[in-house]
Amino acid sequence: MSTRTGCSLTMGPGASNVESVTFRSETCAIPSIVLNDGNVIPQLGFGVFQVPADDVFPVVTAALEAGYRSIDTAAIYGNEEGTGRAIRQSGIPRDEIYVTTKLWNSEQGYDSTLRAFDASMQRLGLDYLDLYLIHWPAPSADRFVDTFKAFKALKADGRVRSIGVSNFRIPDLERVIGETGEIPAVNQIELHPRLTQRELREYHAEHAIATEAWSPLGQGTLLDNEVITEIAAAVERTPAQVIIRWHLQLGNIVIPKSVTPSRIVSNFDVFGFELTGEQMAAITALDNGGRVGPDPSTFAAGLD
């Protein structure tokens, strides 16, 4: 995995030949990460969690107009149709937009995964997917290994460029790798200054798994934190911009979300400044293990 800025590209350990790249990162002003399969993902994306289906078309349109080139949705969000329509009607070539969706818990299992993928692609109205993620491990159901085997089949068929997981713990990752023979390209996890996931990120680095952060701002709970606001004042940026910049400098892929046009633009404006080592350390020191989302070891919504 490695970081790419502008038109230069440096390969990292675990990354294969870049000829397999389908997302045309050379047209994108956002730094990119080279995944362990050789494909490239923008380091800053736009998430549509909790964006109502009726609102997602103008929201995604605004994000694309602001410069985002990576859009992250999921079957359970109920907004794949509007997300896909905004992408298709944007006027931007398909290979310049990186698209991620996720498989919901109730669809885990080999055959049901294949059916769920077809349904997601029909809603999105796209010919292929850049990244497909297992949304949660749901370990009590014990289906995620068979699910990932179905993901491998979709990748082999060329319908998905990269396959990964979300909210997986180290034991879950070890099972997937050990029983399928394939290392996920990405693990999308809850990650913010109050939950830095150091041990999991170290495991990712050892196995060339890209770390992607959902709820990167801690659902707004950090925006009035004194440490964050003092740093924001010092660098003349918003608290949200400071936190997003912290993620980028850690090497995380980050997918903030907003339905407010001004914040969509503001959250994208994070490449004209850098945090010092001292500022980075001060933000990291806010870690207290506090989650804003469910515990992946027990979360089983959608299961019978």
Q: Which tokens is 226 given?
A: 């004194």
Would you please indicate which residues are annotated as catalytic (active-site) residues? 77
Provide the 3-class DSSP secondary structure of residue 166: strand
Annotated binding-site residues read 135
Tell me 34's DSSP state: E
Say how many C-beta atoms besides its own lie within 10 A of residue 226's C-beta: 7
Asked if residue 173 lies in contact with residue 203, where contact means CB atoms within 8 angstroms, the answer is: yes
Q: What angle do CA 120, 121, 124 make, to 5 degrees?
A: 85
List residues bridging with 47 in a β-sheet.
72
Annotated binding-site residues for substrate read 135
Distance CA 34, CA 208 (A): 10
Tell me 101's DSSP state: E
Q: Would you mind telling me the total number of residues written for the chain in this entry?
A: 304
CA 263 to chain centre: 19
Distance CA 101, CA 72 (A): 6
Provide the 3-class DSSP secondary structure of residue 112: helix
Position 194: which residue type?
R
Distance CA 110, CA 17 (A): 29
Distance CA 301, CA 140 (A): 11
Q: Tell the burial category of 67 from Cβ atoms under 10 Å away from its Cβ (0-12, 13-18, 19+).
A: middle
